[in-house]
Structures are given as C-alpha cells and as structure tokens.
Structure 1
Amino acid sequence: MSGGAVASLPEGLLDGGVWFRVEEAATASAVRRTAERLAAELVLPERRVNDLSILAAEMAGNLVKHADQGVLLLRVVRTPEQAGVELIAVDHGPGMADLVHSIGDGHSTVGTLGIGLGAIVRQSSWCDLHSVPGKGTVLAAQVWPGEPPLPARAAGITRPLTGEPVSGDAFAVREAEGRRQVLMSDGLGHGGLAAAASHEAVRAFTDAPAAPPATVLEHLHRRMSHTRGAAVAVAELDPDAGLVRYAGLGNISGTVVSPGGTRRGMISLPGITGHQRRQIRQYDYPITPEDVVVMHSDGVVDRWNLADYPGLLLGSPLVIAATLLRDAGTRRDDAGVVVARL
C-alpha cells in the first residue's frame, strides 16, 4: 500500500489499481492528486476531472476523520466504449446505523459541515455503500466521461500480500453468447511471477472460445504452460437454465449464497492450471436471481457468513466483494474475491 506524496502515476495503476493506507491528511491529498493524474491520462473531460477530484478528496478525507484502518483502492474501469475511474474506500471504523440520514447534507459525527457523503453521491456517476455499526463501512464510486454503463452484475477486487507492489490474484468477467462467465485466478506464490501467471490467465480467458467452463479451462491450461501456473476457476451463470456451471483446478473457493446466508460449495479439483491436472470436470448447480456466486483465492479465509451483514446480499457485487476482502482476507498472502449474480 502507498502513502505520502505522489510524484507520478504509481506502477500498476493503469492495470490492477493501487491501494492507499489513508490515516493522515497528507495521504488523502496524495489520493486526490493521483486521481487527477489518472483522469488526465484517460483524457476525461474537465468537468468530470473536477468531479473526480472532489470525490477523491471527500472519500479519503472521510477515512482520515472517521475511519479505523482506512484504505482506499484507486483503479481504472473499462467498457468497450470508454474508460473511467473507480475508488473503493474500506474501513473498520464505527460504521453507520442509518445510511439515508448519514448521506443527507448537514449530518456529521465530528462537528464538520457534514457534506461529504452527499457530495460523493452527487459527484459520482455511480456509487454504492454498505455499513454495519461496529464492523465498518465500504463505499465504492465511479466517475465516467460520458453516460455511465449499467451497474455491473459481476465485480471483483484483489489485494497484494503486505509489502508486495502487485497481486498474484486476478479476476475477469466476460459475456459468452448471452451467458456471464467469471474467472478467478491465484498465481502460484506471490510477486511478479505470480502476477504474470494470473495476467496470462486473464488474457487467455478474454480470447477463449464461447464455450462451457470446462472447455475454457482446458484452453487456459494450454495457454499458461510457459508461466509459473495458477489455481483457476471459471463459472458460467446461465439465466435461461437457472444454473451456474463451474470448473476449477486448484485451491479456488466457489460458493452459491442464497438469501439468509445459506451456502452451497462448488467443486474445484486438484491441480495447477498450466502444469498439472488429472482431469477437468464441470459441475452444475441451481441458482436463482436472489442468489450470488462468490469465488475467492485461498488468501481469503473461508469462514465468512453474509448473514452477519444485514442487507449486504442486496448490494452491488463490488461492495459485497470488498466487504468479504476486508473481513476475511489475510495479510500473509495475496487475496482476491469476485462476486456475480444472474
């Protein structure tokens, strides 16, 4: 994670994003300046650059004023038509019991003007928020140059091992003949070689044929033979069939979560994508529009329970993923979570 002044765009910002530990005003200023430089790199219109500057200042400033162990992820988001900027603020702070009241202008818990959350809602193209008293808050916001895309039905987040500049975990989402396919990859080890393996997994996934997950995973296995290898899983959400199809090699955890927090695990087989496999098999699981699919690397402890977070299952996949990363992610390994719904 970064802190302090920023002289230029940090390495990796245009790819996986950069985490900031936001504990003092100097780091909050660095977040704002980095966001402005990123906006210039993406050639955002001046009006949207100004919106992003306010957004970054308010989100980072809120972490300084209110948060405990506050961190912020700044990264690029893309569609085939345009690129925007996304900020995700995560903390273990006191949380908020009444989000509607807290977002309203004039509400403050530290004697300030209380315009922060209201400004964030106004300046962002899209935002989502979840907070639980005593657990903390996750706030995600995006700024797009033009009309924002529809809210994502699948999204993920990764964080590197403490002390490493890049994460060996990666995720990707694509549409394959009307079915949403989701990838989670955990490169062996950590650091640059692990990141290179997962980046290759993402590239191979992106250009794989529009085929079922087992066939896509076979394609990845062939393409990744020159890398260190990775644990990889591919899920396909098919709304017409009411199924999620799943194929995995290695220690990727896949789960279907239903309202109330009921969990159904999905099977990944032993192996290393790119190097070792006995077989690749696909398994089908029923899914409803109220369910979510959660996939994560072994850098996330598998003892989480969405029932501990009232209302979270109704939130955006991004905020669900960031909440799980905050509370179940370990600092001793790269960690990644991707969440999808029909």
Structure 2
Amino acid sequence: MVAVTGGPPADHLPTAEDVGWLPVEELSAVGAARRAATGLAERLAFTPTRVAEVALVITELATNLAKHADQGVLLLRALRTAEHAEVEVASVDRGPGIADPALAFRDGHSTAGTLGIGLGAVSRLSDAYAIRSAVGRGTILTARFGPRDLRHPARVEPAVAAGVTRPMGGEEICGDAYAIRRQDKRLLLMLCDGSGHGPLAASASQAAVRTFLDIDWTTPEDAVRLLHGGMSGTRGGAVAVAELDPVAGLVRYAGVGNISGTVVTDRKRGMVSLPGIAGYQARTIRRFDYELPEDAVVVLHSDGLNERWTADPLDRWSADPLVVALDLLREAGGRRDDASVVVAKASAR
C-alpha cells in the first residue's frame, strides 16, 4: 500500500511506499530478502555499486535476524521526491536486544546472543539510520539509501513525522493509507482505514489520499468533509485528520469512524472521533482542539492496533518517528486486520 507524505511541492516531504514485509526466521530467508532489496534498488535506478552496498547491508541485517532474533521481519520501502528515489529498510524483532547500540555499530564487534554483528556496515553505507533497542524486548533499526556515490554523501534531514502500513495476514495489499503535509511549522496528518480489506479497501483509502493531497490547506473538519465527498462511490472507511500547530500549542482534530488519535506526553490523552463511514454516511463532522506541549507526540492508528499500548517507556518517544511507529505496531498490532500508524512530533523543525 502506498503511504504518502507530502502534497504540493512546497511541502518538501517524500512519498513512502511500503513495498513488502519479509519474515526472516531462518537462514534460508536471507537470500530472498537480499534479492527483494536489490530488485527494488535496481527499479529505482541505483548504480550497480550502490545496489551491491544495499545488498551487503540487507544480508547483514537478515542474517542477524535469522541467527539471533525472535519473530524477525524486514520492511522494504521506496521513498520518492521530485529529485530522486531512495530505498528504506526496517529491521524489527522481539529478540534479546542490544545493551550498547553504539558499541554494536563498531566494525568487528560481536557479542553472542545479541544483534551486534555486522552493524558497522549500516553506519558506513547508509545515508541515515536510527535504532531503538531494549534488552529483553528486541530491536528496531531503520536505514535509508540514496542512489548516490559515497564520495558525495547525501544530506538527510531528520524526520518530523512518519507512518507505516501492514496488510493483514494472508493479504499482499493493505486497505489502510496515510498522508502527511507540512506548511511552515505546521503538520497536517491524515489516516484512512478502508472498510474491509484487500483491493476494494485499498481503493477507498487511496481515494482519501488523492483527495487530501489535492485540496488546499484547510481545517481538519473541512478536510474530513472533502474526504467524505472524495470517497463517494467507494466502499468508504474511517478517516481522521490532525493539524499540529506548535506555535499555537494546539492539535486540531476531526475524525469519522474508528481511527484512534492520541496526544502523548507522560500519559495518553485520547482525541474524539465521531461515528460514521466517510464516503457513505457522516452526519456529524466536528473539530476538537487539544493542548500540544513542546515535548508531545501525536499518534494516529487504525483498529489494526489495539489501544492497550502505554505511554511507557518514556524513552520510546524520543526516537525517530518511524522507529516509534514500528515499535507501536510491534507492541499493539494484530495480524487479523490491516494495521497502520502515523507518528508526529510537536516540535516540528
């Protein structure tokens, strides 16, 4: 499922396509993961040298998952801007964790029972990477690769918001989709959970994405009204739009259906979505405003995640937004439904 960040060119955010989730629980899966990653890099017009570098990192990550992790999985993503495309990979597991991630990234470091083998290749060959690891809980690592010569390093700005989608077990297409737009210091987030699952649900959520990216910047309640109209003729779905305004110290929120919106500080504060199905029946669309402290994180997720996740541990929220989204999906995501989560930090740069 295409998961989009951006909108009009002035927003300067890339589109993100979740290409595939690849389980890696045995060494026999390493080759398949490498082939999938190199195939993606080749489709994105990477040079042969850069394709080989992506292959090396994927091989290291997949081998670590197969040897040392529990329930290890790799996520492959394609990031696109007007200028170029990038490969992004995420490694997620419930393994033993890494006590000292900084040490694990040193070339040659190896500690039995941890994922600290070969991670130096990630720091040397990627344009940007992020990691969160907790002993006994597992590790999440993300890395981005642009199609550039290493003699001319790319400059990757830290992310202020990110999302991820995952289809339900047995499906290849996710019926959820999201989009993120940016204007000055404000962020506008949209998440849609197409009714049901599979291609028809994806068609509904993609109609929401197209509408959201085509409209002028507007209030969340007006955006939801326009999404309701733009999804007409599809099977509809649940939608929510949140505007993060750090200057005003507010998050403005409107939702229809069972999208969950939360402002996280040292606790969770839920935001209100009203009953209805966007594209089909939405009798009441209303905006609710909530305080947005400087250290707050805003989370939107579909009902593919249960709501039992907690604000603890506090160090989770300081991580890269994609790492946080993957952490929440690992903790609270089920496999009997499509799942999606969007994470944005209040302190937009």
User: In 1, Cα distance between the equivalents of 2:135 and 2:305?
Assistant: 23
1:243 pairs with 2:250: yes
Aligned residue for 1:286?
Answer: 291
Aligned residue for 2:273?
Answer: 268
Equivalent residue for 1:189, pick from 168, 173, 196: 196
Cα distance change on mapping 1:111 and 1:155 into 2, 3 Å? closer
| 2:214 partner letter | D
Task: Give the C-alpha shift of residue 46 in structure 1.
Answer: 3.4
Aligned residue for 1:166?
Answer: 173
1:212 pairs with 2:219: yes
1:300 pairs with 2:305: yes
| 1:161 partner letter | M
Aligned residue for 2:48?
Answer: 46
Aligned residue for 2:90?
Answer: 88
Task: Give the C-alpha shift of residue 80 in structure 1.
Answer: 3.0
**Cα displacement string for residues 297-340 of structure 1 (whole angstroms, at most 9, x for unaligned residues):** 011010101313x5211101100000000110011111111100
Task: Give the C-alpha shift of residue 15 in structure 1.
Answer: 4.1
Aligned residue for 1:3?
Answer: none
Q: Is the 8 A contact 1:188 1:228 kept in 2?
A: yes
Cα distance change on mapping 1:114 and 1:280 into 2, 3 Å? closer
User: In 2, Cα distance between the equivalents of 1:192 and 1:36?
Assistant: 27
1:339 pairs with 2:343: yes
Residue segments in structure 1 that go unaligned for 5+ positions in a row: 1-13
Q: CA RMSD in A?
A: 1.8
Please state whether the residue corresponding to 1:272 is helix, strand or coil: coil
Aligned residue for 1:319?
Answer: 323
User: In 2, Cα distance between the equivalents of 1:278 and 1:113?
Assistant: 51
Task: Give the C-alpha shift of residue 135 in structure 1.
Answer: 1.2
Q: Is the 8 A contact 1:231 1:251 kept in 2?
A: yes
User: In 2, Cα distance between the equivalents of 1:317 and 1:264?
Assistant: 18
Task: Give the C-alpha shift of residue 176 in structure 1.
Answer: 4.0
**Cα displacement string for residues 136-162 of structure 1 (whole angstroms, at most 9, x for unaligned residues):** 111111101242431211101111110
Aligned residue for 2:106?
Answer: 104
Equivalent residue for 1:277, pick from 250, 275, 282: 282
Q: Is the 8 A contact 1:297 1:335 kept in 2?
A: yes
User: In 2, Cα distance between the equivalents of 1:114 and 1:92?
Assistant: 15
User: In 1, Cα distance between the equivalents of 2:117 and 2:180?
Assistant: 35
Please state whether the residue corresponding to 1:16 is helix, strand or coil: strand
| 1:275 partner letter | Y
Task: Give the C-alpha shift of residue 295 in structure 1.
Answer: 0.6
| 2:126 partner letter | S
User: In 2, Cα distance between the equivalents of 1:221 and 1:111?
Assistant: 51
User: In 1, Cα distance between the equivalents of 2:114 and 2:24?
Assistant: 19
Q: Is the 8 A contact 2:65 2:115 kept in 1?
A: no
Cα distance change on mapping 1:183 and 1:113 into 2, 3 Å? closer
Equivalent positions of 1:24-173 (< 5 A) are 24-110=26-112, 115-146=117-148, 147-173=154-180
Residue segments in structure 2 that go unaligned for 5+ positions in a row: 1-15, 149-153
Cα distance change on mapping 1:151 and 1:170 into 2, 3 Å? same
Q: Is the 8 A contact 1:176 1:211 kept in 2?
A: no
Q: Is the 8 A contact 1:177 1:210 kept in 2?
A: no
Cα distance change on mapping 1:24 and 1:228 into 2, 3 Å? same
Q: Is the 8 A contact 1:107 1:113 kept in 2?
A: no
More moved, 19-28 vs 175-184: 175-184
**Cα displacement string for residues 224-272 of structure 1 (whole angstroms, at most 9, x for unaligned residues):** 01111010101111122111111100000000101x3x11111111111
User: In 1, Cα distance between the equivalents of 2:113 and 2:212?
Assistant: 50
Please state whether the residue corresponding to 1:156 is helix, strand or coil: strand
**Cα displacement string for residues 184-228 of structure 1 (whole angstroms, at most 9, x for unaligned residues):** 111111111111111111111111111111111111110101111
Cα distance change on mapping 1:138 and 1:215 into 2, 3 Å? same
| 1:267 partner letter | V
User: In 1, Cα distance between the equivalents of 2:184 and 2:315?
Assistant: 32
Task: Give the C-alpha shift of residue 114 in structure 1.
Answer: 5.7
User: In 2, Cα distance between the equivalents of 1:114 and 1:155?
Assistant: 26
Task: Give the C-alpha shift of residue 115 in structure 1.
Answer: 4.7
| 2:200 partner letter | L
